[in-house]
Amino acid sequence: MTDTPAEAEHAAAPEPATPAGETVSAGETVSAGETVPAGGSASAGGSASGAPSRRALIGWGGAGLALGAAVAGGAVAVARSGDDEPGAAGEGGAVAFHGHHQAGIATPVQDRLHFAAFDVKTTDRAAFVQLLKDWTAAARRMTAGQAVGEGAYGGLAEAPPDDTGEALGLTPSRLTLTLGFGPSLFEKFDLADRRPEALVDLPRFAGDNLDRNRSGGDLCVQACADDPQIAVHAIRNLARIGFGKVVIRWSQLGFGKTSSTTPDAQTPRNLMGFKDGTRNIAGTETDRLKKFVWVEEKDTDADSAWMAGGSYLVARRIRMNIETWDRTSLQEQEDIFGRDKGEGAPVGKAKERDKPFLKAMLPDAHVRLAHPDTNAGATLLRRGYSFTDGTDGLGRLDAGLFFLAYQRDVRTGFIPVQRSLAADALNEYIQHVGSALFAIPPGVRDKDDWWGSTLFAKNPGDSHDPKEA
């Protein structure tokens, strides 16, 4: 399966000394500054314009907050009330929004996904830049566990609230929001010369049956959280802010992460029941991240220098023929993967983490074809999720794997691996039905920075404007 590069047991990779826990507690520091100390992001939620909030001015806010705290007895209850109170950051894990890289890549994989691809409708560059700034401001608040804008209640009775409200009272749930630019964006706003060479048009792969309504997009936002409501809330509010400038082209909900960036005792299983991603790149493996995931300055030229610190994301919707797979004998299932089903051990080995002996597997076994040794060392960081979108009208589960993989360059990452998988025995049971590729710009550096500033700051006035960020 595509998630295969997954199976990538990288021979040279060291075992992580201490498996990191899935839940990041307050103040704990995991993986290069991905976790915020408790209360650390409070300032980020401050009113961006510097104006006092409406509620503070009218004087309703104080009473409301006091009441909330008294009733619920804690910061969690008021965490999403829409104002600037601290307290949200540590509760239920807030992941730092600011950083050299965007969160949501090396961040320990959360349980749930809402991924959305957008088409840009506006032709006005300034309007689009403003949207990126507005999105950044909203993302900064939501990832810190705060409501969008002036909140979900307490405002004008006659007007719809800024925030949609379904995340009220919930913790940040380690929400990360990761923005990407699709190849088609570079045809707009005179950006053609700034499209990086590595942002190729993906070739057609054997077996592709792509639905254009589930493919492509000028922009993407990956929302990952431990609570699906938090992820859905984030995409919904960004889409709302974007009306008139961008529209959702397609989206995908995901559950049950199929890979982990925090290697622990249990590797997650995909819907075929197999463990996948035993040796996926961990968020703590700085060396492998540097080698395989992050775009370095030396990878870029003057036009694509804006990508330094970024990455490339391949998204593939892979439908599984669940029913026929379930009628397949255990022996065949294990032969197809090249692992046993119970332990997850490679053919001929005893334990999941034993080094695989590829030649012991059948020539068309999935792990064998996906392994870095078969693909000149090609290694991806995968964050795939399972999906089920009801049934397909023929009584079959519309289910499978929503494959997400980050890499430094798709030409040495996803493309050779996927080509190698043309011979995969698993292909009888899967079909790639959606496909998209995005350039993931570097992280939002601080409270004055905004998503995509390195790409769009070319024009004077667009750059790093503290008043508008």
Interface residues toward other proteins, by CB under 8 A: 49, 51, 54, 57-58, 121, 150, 155-160, 240, 243-245, 247
Q: Which is nearer to other proteins, 203 or 461 (CB)?
A: 461
**Token pair recorded at residue 281:** 């790149």
SS3 of 391, please? Answer: strand
* DSSP code at position 220: E
Q: How many CB atoms lie within 10 A of CB 428?
A: 14
* CA dist., res. 139 & res. 147, Å (int): 10
**Token pair recorded at residue 168:** 């009220």
Q: Are residues 88 and 75 in contact, defined by beta-carbon separation less than 8 angstroms?
A: yes
What's the min distance (Å) between Cβ of 119 and other proteins?
Answer: 8
Which stretches of 67-171 are assigned E, i.e. beta strand?
112-120
What's the min distance (Å) between Cβ of 318 and other proteins?
Answer: 25
User: CA dist 427 to 3, 252, 343, 389, 431, Å?
Assistant: 12, 22, 23, 21, 7
* DSSP code at position 296: P
Q: Which is nearer to other proteins, 37 or 64 (CB)?
A: 64
CA 38 to chain centre: 23
Kind and range of the H or E run holding 63: helix 60-72
Q: Which is nearer to other proteins, 95 or 241 (CB)?
A: 241
Q: Which is nearer to other proteins, 213 or 331 (CB)?
A: 213
Backbone φ, ψ for residue 100 (5° rounding): -65, -40
What's the min distance (Å) between Cβ of 152 and other proteins?
Answer: 15
Q: Which is nearer to other proteins, 21 or 62 (CB)?
A: 62
User: CA dist 52 to 24, 153, 165, 313, 390, Å?
Assistant: 32, 17, 21, 39, 46
What dihedral angle (degrees, nearest 10) is formed by the CA atoms of 221, 223, 224, 229? Answer: -160
Q: Which is nearer to other proteins, 122 or 412 (CB)?
A: 122
* CA dist., res. 417 & res. 243, Å (int): 38
What's the min distance (Å) between Cβ of 84 and other proteins?
Answer: 14
Q: Which is nearer to other proteins, 182 or 441 (CB)?
A: 182
Q: Which is nearer to other proteins, 3 or 150 (CB)?
A: 150
